[in-house]
Amino acid sequence: MSGRLQNKIALVTGAANGIGAATARLFAAEGATVVLADIDEAAGAALAGQLGMHFILADVSCEAQVERAVQATVERHGRIDCMVNGASIVGAVGSLMETTAQAWRATQGVLLDSVFFGIKHAARAMREQRGGVILSVSGIAGVMGGLGPHAYTASRHGVIGLTRSAASELSQYGIRVNAVAPGSGMPKEEIAASLLFLASDAAPHVTAHTLVVDSGHTAGGFASGASVLRDRPVAFMGPSGQRAVQAAEGQP
């Protein structure tokens, strides 16, 4: 039985560590030929060697280097079926009033500009071949606020917005554009599996979507049972139901 990405060509940025590395491993295990790109040459080249794949040194905050990575992938393999924008840092953390413009721009360079560059240049290649999948890693900071990582939060919102707008333009070329928003501490292999689903033929009509993987954190509590309604009796809240709720709680 063939893998879910059999004969597919994928470029993964941020592939030396973390989610990017987990994604490169899983995609390769599922039959894809993976090109790994990262600024960490030692770790990236080592993982590529383990997988029997190709590594490209790239600073994703530089458009020319992202463009070169896409072009090198196409030149080496003839096409690019999936682009994964996976590079990530925490970036500037602290009071918005004390954040410097330099720290702000450096954070956006890795977390948002790189996604724009990846979508732009992968889309150009995929337009010629009439199809492909572009995936980006955002985070739950993209669907909620945060206490301190303002630059990070802004970038994560930006990735989700760009995913939606890019999908609307690129659908005419058969290109699907999606994102994954991991919660803090989520298993990297689970995030990689989410990217695998979106990259595969199992999701042919999924586009402009952000898949949140966070154990229910953004829903107001964790799936383990943090809800304030846990172990509470069921009651109807309405014009005549308030008394029933009070009675269930032992109130007069």
143-160 pLDDT, tens digit each: 987 666 899 999 999 999
pLDDT at 211: 97
Q: In what order do the strands lie in the sheet with 82-85?
A: 54-57, 33-38, 9-13, 82-85, 132-137, 175-182, 209-213
Domains and CATH numbers, the chain: 9-220 (3.40.50.720), 223-252 (no CATH)
| Active-site annotation holds for 173 | no
Across 201-209, average pLDDT:
97
Catalytic residue (one of 54, 70, 152, 192): 152
87: alpha, beta or left? (left if phi > 0; alpha if psi -120 to 50)? beta
Type of residue found at 94: G
Tokens of 230: 């846990």
Mean pLDDT rounded to a whole number for the chain: 90
113: alpha, beta or left? (left if phi > 0; alpha if psi -120 to 50)? alpha
Q: Using 50, 70 and 90 to split pLDDT, how confident is the model at 94? A: confident
pLDDT 10s digits, 97-117: 999 999 999 999 999 999 999
pLDDT at 201: 96
pLDDT at 51: 98
pLDDT 10s digits, 147-202: 668 999 999 999 999 999 999 999 999 999 999 999 988 999 999 999 999 999 99
The CA distance from 100 to 58, in Å, is 26
pLDDT at 216: 87
pLDDT at 219: 83
CA-atom Rg of the chain in angstroms = 21
Whether residue 44 is predicted with pLDDT greater than 90 in this model: the reply is: yes
- Cβ-based burial of 73 (10 A; exposed 0-12, middle 13-18, buried ≥19): buried
pTM listed for this prediction: 0.88
pLDDT 10s digits, 122-150: 999 999 999 999 999 999 999 987 666 89
pLDDT 10s digits, 50-70: 999 999 999 999 999 999 999
Chain-centre distance for alpha carbon 69:
19
